[in-house]
Structure formats: C-alpha cells, structure tokens
A and B are shown apart, each in its own frame.
Chain A
Amino acid sequence: MSKGYFGAFGGAYIPEILHETFAQLTLAYETARADEAFWRHYIELMRNYSGRPTPLTFAENLSLAHGKRRIYIKREDLNQTGAHKANNVMGQGLLVRRMGKTRVIAETGAGQHGVATATMAARLGLACTIYMGAKDVARQRPNVFWMEQLGATVIPVTSGSQTLKDAVNEAMRDWVGSMDNTHYVLGTACGAHPFPEMVSWFQSVIGQEARVQILEQEGRLPDHVYACVGGGSNAMGIFQGFLEDPQVELIGVEAGGLGLAGHNHASRIASGKSTVGIAQGYKTCFLQDEDGQMRDTHSVAAGLDYVGVSPILADLHQQGRVRFEAATDVEVVEALKRMVKSEGIIPALESSHAVAGALRELPQLKEDAVVIINLSGRGDKDIFTIAEALGDAKWKTYIQERAAIYAAEQGERS
C-alpha cells in the first residue's frame, strides 16, 4: 500500500505549493521516528514538563455502583494545560527544533490545542498564531484568554460555519504563504500525510502507559477501552496500546449532539451518515451533502465538533477493530455530573462523551469486566458552558454581578 494510506483512507491532497514542505516534514518525522534517542528525549521532556506518566485511577465509586465491574480512568486531564493535546504539541515542538523553523501556527476548536501550542511556543521561544472559529472563540473565552497571555495571536475565523473545520482552512492558507519559517502544528490525527500517523505516534504514549499500568494494577488486560473521538488523536493514543490484543474491545464515542436523526451532531461513523470524500488534505468519512459540500455540525463540546475523522480510525472501523458509538449533549452533561460527584474528577465536555458511552454500556458488560475510560482533558475550561447547561442559578447571578461591575467601570471611564 502506498505511504500515508490506511486502507482506503488517508493520502496527501495538498496544493502543489506545499509539496516540498510536506516532503521536508515527512523526512524530519521519519528520521525522528527511526532515532530511538528522539523518543527517549520526548519521554523525558513529558516526564519533567507534563507530569507523565499520568495515573490510571481506579474509579472506586463508579465501580461499586456496577457490581464487580472495575472501572479505570486514564488521567490525560493531569497533563500540562489539562489535556492530551500536550503530548502532540511537545512532540511536534521537538520536530520544529530539528527543522529550524521559528514560528508555529495551529487551529483549535475547544481551545485546548491552541493553549497547548501557545504553551509549547512560549517554552521553545517560537512565535505563535492560533486560528479559531469565531463561534468557538465565543464559547471558549477562558482558553482564548490564556492563549493571549501566553503570547499567541488568536485570529477568530468568520468564514463557513465558524468552527474547527474553518480554522483548519485558515491555518492552511497561512501556511501556504509562510512555510519557509513556519510549522503548522495540526492538533489531531487528521489532515494530509504524515500528520495522522505522526500525531498518533506522539499520542501513543497514552496507550503504552495504560497497558503497563493496567497489567500492574489488575494483572490483566482490560476488556473494553472507551475514548471520545473528535479528530481522533486521544482515541488513537490509548487504542494503540491495545491494537494487537484482539480480546480488548476498543470503542470510540462521537458527538451525538441533539441526536442522530437530523444534522445537529458530529457523528461521522456511528451515525452511518457520512460518506467518503477528500477535503482538508486527506481522504476519510465526512459529513457532507450529495454535492460534496461539508455540512455544519453541532456538539456541546467544541473539540468534537468536526466534519472529518482520522483516516486511521476510519480504517480501523472498516476492519471491525474499533466500534463507534455516539453520546448526545444531554447524556454527556449527565455523565459529567456523575463523574464529578462520584469520583471528584472534573472531565472536559469532550472527555465526558467517553464517560457517557461507558456508563450507558456498563450494566450490560460481563460481570467482572475491566474497563478503561480515557479522560482526554479536564473541564475547567468548560465552566461557562457547563454552568449554563446545568442552569446553575448562583453562577448566573455571579456573572450578572461581574458584568454590572465592568459596565460601571466603563461608564466611569467614558
């Protein structure tokens, strides 16, 4: 099979102007991959900077509520900046050093990848521009605030649906003119070759750790592993630890949004409503209309609100290795509440999709099942969205009071 393809998916469908840039990136990646010292350096950096290995936490109360079933949480929320995104950006940061570039750009949906990239840029001394859909800027202000504090320029993208896919397009446009000194830190296991493979490689640290940890703690492999799927990087990260173990079932949970009946979701595979297409540089399953135009998607979680999916996951699904499910916004908020109350862990809305998928199925799993849920990130960033979804009256009063103070301040100044 030709390079960069996974079954029928993948490839590099890029404008000619980027041909050499991709050739250089592929070479840098392949050389790094063949160099054991590079990976050791990466692991060392993640240990000292990002608190790796992240724990595999036994969820005692959730487990007790489900008989003899044993539930573990892989704590990617404990990474530097609070999500698995740190793994990918630090890895690409080391590659940027190898390539001698001085500026990075990135797209971001939830803002987690933007914050992670801005952090990496601050640490490695790189200039940084982040593209973010205007709609996502509005719903993820805390992350925008941090990106700007970290020294990044955040550009709200007002084209298209003003979400993640449009941010990807703008970042590509920037790169087409800036590739001499700029690296595009793609945030997930999507896009043109070598991104899906490279991002999955950096994220594989999650699965490698989880495998060792579960063997240590349980003395055996898990029966089921759940992960949420936006582009698919955290899912690829944990799944890779168990791909060669056919007895371990791998489950990807997509955004079911308002339900799979209409188009207000971002479920590419579980909905059965996507078709194979080529966009944003690669071939995969996209939510598109008969003409091949991408549809607007919806999720309460900005990070899952994307029209495409990793070509590697699309292939693993086709091979029957990964099962796909979707969780609705309502289920996700319930799952989040449950995780907070019963384990004292605050998951991101994205990660709560994995929790929702697992909670829904737990009662049906065999009695002594061992389950791992990949908790891709923490929920602090979602405080506005979550408080709104929960209709928390005290939070609303607090926001109104702050708003009144700011309005008064402005009144005094003018």
Chain B
Amino acid sequence: MSRKSALEGHIKDKLQQQDILLMSHIVLGYPSLQANREVIRAMVAGGVDLMELQIPFSEPIADGPTIARANQAALDGGFKVREGLAFIREVVAAFNIPFLIMTYTNILMAYGVERFIDEVADIGVKGLIIPDLPLEQAQAAIEQCRAKGMDWIGLMTPTSVDERLGKIGAAADGFVYCVARRGVTGSKTSFDEHVGAFMHRCRQATPVPLAVGFGVRSAEDVDYLKGKAEIAVVGSAALDLFDQAGAAALEPFFRGLRG
C-alpha cells in the first residue's frame, strides 16, 4: 500500500530548506494563455514551490465567485481543452516546479478519462485535483494515476468525520488538500484554533504532507500554518491581486508571504 510518490519525495526534500511550501493556483485562459505565461513567470520568481493549473469548466460548483468568474471569462474568451493541454506541456518543460491539474470530472469524461490521465502524466504533470469526484467514485482513476506515476490528490474538509478522514488518508498519494473551512473558495478564513484542531485531525488521518487552502491571503495566515501543514495554498487572493495590479505585482506578493 505505501507507495513512495515522487511528488511526496520532492516536497520532503524542499522542506529541508524551508519551513513551509507555497502552492499557487491559476485559471488557464484567464484572461488569456499569454497572461498565464506572465503570471506563472512572476509566481515562480516570487518563490512559489508548486502550482495548480485549473482547466476551466462551465459549472465550477466547488469554486467561489472570483474563480468561478475567471472560469466563465476564460470560456467566453474561447478557451479550449486541447490548447490548454498544449500550454501545460509548454510550462512543465519551461519551469522547474511540480505542476498539478485542477478541474472537474466532466472535463476528463469529455476527453476520455483514461486518455486524459495518460496524456497529462506523459506531459509530466505531477498530480490531479478533481473536487467533484469523491473517493468512492475515483477508484479506477486513482489506480491509473498510480500506474502512471502521478498522484491523485484527495481532499479533507472540516465536515469529514474521522472515519472518512481515515479512508481518504489511507488512499492518499503525494499530499492531501485540506479545505480550511466550510464554503467555497475566495472568502476570508480566520486562521485560528478551529483550523488548528482540524489540521490535527488531518495529521492523525494520514502520513502524507498536508496542504491547506481556502482563504489563505496574508503572511500571517501562512505563518499560522507553519508547523501545522507542509504547504499553504494561495488561490483567490492572487487572482484578486492580478485583477487589480497585473502580473508584476505577484512576484513581491508571493515573496512577502514567506514572512
């Protein structure tokens, strides 16, 4: 059962040099693939360690208003999955950090689930985050990812009971994505003892590294997570900043998050 994931090894190596890793998130095609290039360059220069590339979907039920709007805008701008995959191939080759794909089940289905997993693994994508495919429904996809050396990233949430955290934890590869609070992405989370207690429950449930997302916006948030999680995930906050100030603002922002 305990299979050593390359991604997990990479995360642990990096943790030798720094106390917490940063993972960022971008919506492909928002506002354009060209803008995505600049954003990725700025984020990597700002010290981002891992990156989630979201393939837009017309019904992003697990996303909050900021990211949902970006999904819609990307599609209105003519985003196509095939071009998105070509773009992913390009950035995986160009930047020396692990990339993960975040998207919804239907995008994989329309492409062909097996074909999708094979292709993105061959491109060099390190993991998949699919928020609307619960553990029970994901078995075949998980097996296929393992066979291809790619990780299926499970999600743990504060409403998951311990028994379920245990199941998700036992099946986890690479790392687990811990959702810091109830609700969709975007709004503010207060990083306090509730998050701390939840992180403790996650830690009990799995030996793999923990990533925490949903509402991480500031250096204080990241600081709170040090020692409790291995990865802090910054999504909507970076997207909001990009909307206000453009790609150039992202490099100092991520640098500043390290405190």
Interface residues of A (CB under 8 A from B): 11-21, 159-160, 165, 169, 172-173, 176-180, 275-281, 286, 288, 290-294
CB distance from A119 to the nearest CB of B (A): 27
Supposing A172-B61, A290-B110 touch, asked if A13 and B105 sit within 8 A by C-beta, the answer is yes
Type the 1/0 row for B104-120, where 1 means its CB is closer than 8 Å to any CB of A.
11110111000000000
Tell me if B137 and A169 are in contact (CB < 8 A): no
Contact pattern, B 94-111, Cβ under 8 Å of A = 1, otherwise 0: 000000000011110111
Q: Please list the 5 inter-chain residue pairs (A to B) with the smallest Cβ-Cβ separation, ordered nearest first.
A: A292-B110, A177-B183, A17-B157, A292-B106, A293-B58
Q: Are B111 and A15 in contact (CB under 8 A)?
A: no
Contacts of B65 in A (CB 8 A): 159, 173
Give the distance to chain B from A286, nearest Cβ to Cβ, in Å.
8
A13 CA to B132 CA, complexed, in Å: 5
Whether A292 and B111, one on each chain, are in contact in the complex, defined by CB atoms closer than 8 angstroms, is yes
Indicate if the CB atoms of A173 and B184 lie closer than 8 Å: yes
Main secondary structure of the interface of A (DSSP, over half): mixed
Of B59, B62, B137, which contacts A15 at CB under 8 A? B62
A11 and B137 in contact, given A177-B182, A177-B183 (Cβ under 8 angstroms): yes
B214 to chain A: closest residue by CB: A17
Contact assessment for A19 and B105 in the assembled complex, using a CB-CB cutoff below 8 Å: no
List, in ascending order, chain B residues with CB within 8 A of A277's CB.
Answer: 106, 109-110
* Residue pair A293, B137 in contact (C-beta under 8 Å): no
Q: Is A15 a contact of B182 with CB atoms below 8 Å?
A: no
Residue of B nearest to A280 (CB): B59
Q: Which residues of the other chain, A, contact B137 by a CB distance below 8 angstroms? A: 11, 13
- The verdict on A13 contacting B111 (CB below 8 Å), with A160-B58, A176-B183 known, is no
Q: How far does the alpha carbon of A275 sit from the alpha carbon of B111 in the complex, in Å?
A: 12
Point out which of A176, A275, A280, A281 has the most chain B C-beta atoms below 10 A from its C-beta: A176
Is A293 a contact of B62 with CB atoms below 8 Å?
no
Query: Can you identify 30 A-B contacts, CB atoms within 8 angstroms?
Result: A13-B105, A13-B133, A13-B137, A15-B155, A15-B157, A16-B131, A16-B134, A16-B154, A16-B155, A16-B157, A17-B158, A17-B182, A20-B159, A20-B164, A160-B59, A169-B61, A173-B64, A176-B62, A176-B184, A178-B182, A179-B159, A278-B106, A278-B109, A279-B58, A281-B132, A291-B80, A292-B57, A292-B107, A293-B57, A294-B58
A125 to B168, CA, bound (A): 39
B160 within 8 A of A: yes
Residues in chain B near residue A165, CB distance under 8 A: 59
Measured between alpha carbons, how far is A118 from B156 in the docked complex, in Å?
A: 34
Contacts of B131 in A (CB 8 A): 15-16
Taking a contact as CB atoms under 8 Å apart, the answer to whether A294 and B59 are in contact is yes
Hey, which chain B residues are within 8 Å of A14, CB to CB? 132, 134
Query: For A15, what are the chain B residues with a Cβ–Cβ distance below 8 Å?
Result: 61-62, 131-132, 155, 157
